[in-house]
Amino acid sequence: MQTRALQTATWPARAAYFAALALVVTMGILGHRPVRTAAPAWRTDLARDLASAATYPTVQRDLDQIHASRSLRVLMSNSSSSYYVLRGEEYGFEFELARQIARELDLHLEVVLPDVSLTPMQMLQLGKVDVIAMPLLPDEQRAAMVALTVPYHSVQQRLAVHRDYADSIRGLSDLSQLRIAARSFSSGERELARLRRLGVDVVAVLHGYNVPQEEILDLVADGTYPAAIALDVEVEAARRFRSELRKGVALGPRKDVRWAVRGNSPQLLAALDQVLARHVRRNSKGRLVRSEFYNVIRARYFENAPRWDRHRADPFLVARTGRISPYDQIFREAARDTDFDWRLLAALAFQESRFDPTAVSWAGAHGIMQMRPRTAGVSADALRDPRLNITLGAAHLQMLYDRYKGVSETERMRFTLAAYNCGQGHLDDARKLSRLLGLDPDIWEGSVRESLLLLRQPAYHRMVRYGYVRGNETVAYVRGIEQRFEMLQHMTPRAHNTRVASRGRDTVLPAAEAAVMGAASLH
């Protein structure tokens, strides 16, 4: 929509658009500049939202009006724990819970992402959304115009630490002179102030309130900071992508969190409470009782990283015989019907599953090439077959490769790998963002790669169609496959003594030459 409007706009309008874009980009960059402070002040974003929302009229849209429209409009944050799109599929804990609730209310779920010009409370009062599906803590007091559902989850504020510090930080006494990151105007900043009052001499590093929590956790995982303050569920969600993170010291008791609706929507509130209670409630002893559905999605997003994720940290070894995997011949055969070197397929398969045909990701991808049943057009059980999985994965990779025919060969392959990882929609978004920033959308390094990284930030992912994406994960994915492929190009011509893999096809060697190469591989 933004692009079509820009194409038909007059030159003054275009100039105004790019001036506004420059301001957004500048604000996004400045928002990431940390500020060090000894004793930070605190106030919640929610309190600010309530004050501003009070100036807006409250619409009358209760359950009857919602049923008449057939859609339940739910506001969610664009993050890996709440809502995001990956390879064309929608994911997130709040998303899956809200979708199930909408189904039980016989409504269509309409996901709404935060508006750059309005606060969440303003969006609620204006009727742009019916529910704020963001975890609201009980100590964040609300005005009478807002009503809260029954609790749907419980959270605990903790220290998120880099794994190198996990053993050395066991209590508050270990935090002295430790650099701890948090967002300004957040509960994390409030916690830093509390620690200072307790006499803990922490070094607070504050980022702008518009910086996503996941960005700060990424900085801890990268080793920029030893620790940050976050909710336990945020740390667990991030650990699915960043194995360097660990949950550290607990900084308070567990607290229930809730969703918000307008204060004049009692029917909607009662309906949400009734459905939520089917899936999560407290028994007479105060313990949470969860439905099977709730336990499944809770485990998917907030429990420890599954086995397939841990594969990515395993070393890549080529057997002494030169064999890369038990499926080398299948990779060769699949490559014959594509434009790919079979060793590239092997490098990708290792990155995806470490050649485990039983691997299942949290997102429902299966097998060696991590194909999803919907994408592959076959059942999950069928995807356990290595030959079928590799063949379908290679065909999907070829389909993506064919989309980038106007790009140079090296860039085309990088775009293909990136799209295989994050989905072609997100890659298209990154290329569009590169154009808006005056960069070349056909170049990976220095352009599209950097745009993917920017799409983790609200200032940028609000400007594109598919929104938030963990661009750092995709950048690392492409780099990892390129490095493994380069290594295999040096190793496997000597190790595989019957074929030398060239781009697109395998070249059969004469028997005598193959014998020489086979003998050489033993020395």
Q: Catalytic site residues? A: 352
Q: Which residues contact 70 (CB under 8 A, 6 or more apart)?
A: 107, 108
* Cα separation of the two ends of the chain: 62
- The helix/strand/coil state of 119 is coil
DSSP lists the bridge partners of residue 262 as 146
| Angstrom distances, CA of residue 159 to CA of 10, 54, 226, 318 | 51, 35, 10, 40
Give the separation between CA 460 and CA 458, rounded to whole angstroms.
5
Query: What is the DSSP code string of 183-229?
Result: ETTSHHHHHHHHHHHTT---EEEEE-TTS-HHHHHHHHHTTS-SEEE
- The helix/strand/coil state of 435 is helix
To 10 degrees, what angle do helices 409-422 and 342-353 make?
Answer: 30
As a whole number of Å, the CA-based R_g of the chain is 25
Q: Hunting for tokens 């397929």 — which residue is that?
A: 345
Opening angle at CA 371, ends 366 and 376, nearest 5: 120
- One-letter-per-residue 3-state SS of 376-401: HCCCCCHHHCHHHHHHHHHHHHHHHH
- The helix/strand/coil state of 363 is coil
Give the separation between CA 304 and CA 240, rounded to whole angstroms.
7
Give the separation between CA 334 and CA 328, rounded to whole angstroms.
10
CA atoms within 13 A on the CB side of 360: 9
| Helix/strand number for the chain, H first, E second | 22, 18
Contact 111, 95 (CB under 8 A): yes
